[in-house]
Structure 1
């Protein structure tokens, strides 16, 4: 019998009041939980980066997939998957901002709190507009279906790796 199941957390990040910064929130709202294995949790963290860091402290998740607006090369609406070092260099604790934190700050806070995560991926989209408005720009809105498909595929793949890793000793 293997140990407790390890999980994947898909976290939508962003501020829905700042146009395309709400990309991650909108993507996780559109992800169909029925299309994912039971070991994948999907949540809208919005601007609550501190809450995300505390959520990861329990050690239940092996992989974190953050979905966020990211300053990528290419035109607005460009999607990319970035792998982030889950163990950033020790640093001074990041300034706590209850209204938002970038992925590196979330991971630094997690580390400073004594937590860890094994793998971190960011599904990013290049924004066009990050101004006060409650709607996504056309190019970012047009990328949503592809982003949902990409996040769903990544979450399934990461969960499969987790299950294979847990089954391997019993199958050997």
Structure 2
């Protein structure tokens, strides 16, 4: 005897049942899982898939920028103009908040920060021509591409749909840990 899920999969393979791509929403009721699917556009899928990656990149950028500022202040003594380097923390911080809340303008600020950082890494790679600088330049190009793709796809999603996506993500997390 087949379980209902195996039967649905077999029916779908034979073409008797349409296959719908989406995120399951809803809670089990009466012992059987009542699942409804909502379809996602390709942009929404990219945003949901890249959201955590952009948040991680922004957090790591924040930490490395903070450490660079602290070593600049500690290494040369205390100068007031070195504290102006803390302005560079705004880029990763806006990227972290923008990805967390799906806010497009904050994410666009982070894209600008990533582009500037990419240019700096390429200049270091060309000037010093050390293997580490070349590897960091390629890594920063890759990060910038991911952040730019996230920001571009996020700009194509209407504001009210972004709120729905955040709600869907919370429902999905609750279902995983339920």
Pick the TM interval, shorter chain: under 0.3
Q: Which one has the bigger helix percentage? A: 2
The structure having more radius of gyration, on CA atoms, is: 2
TM-score when normalising by structure 2: 0.24
**Which protein has greater RCO, CA pairs closer than 8 Å, 6+ apart?**
1
TM-score when normalising by structure 1: 0.25
Q: Which one has the bigger strand percentage? A: 1
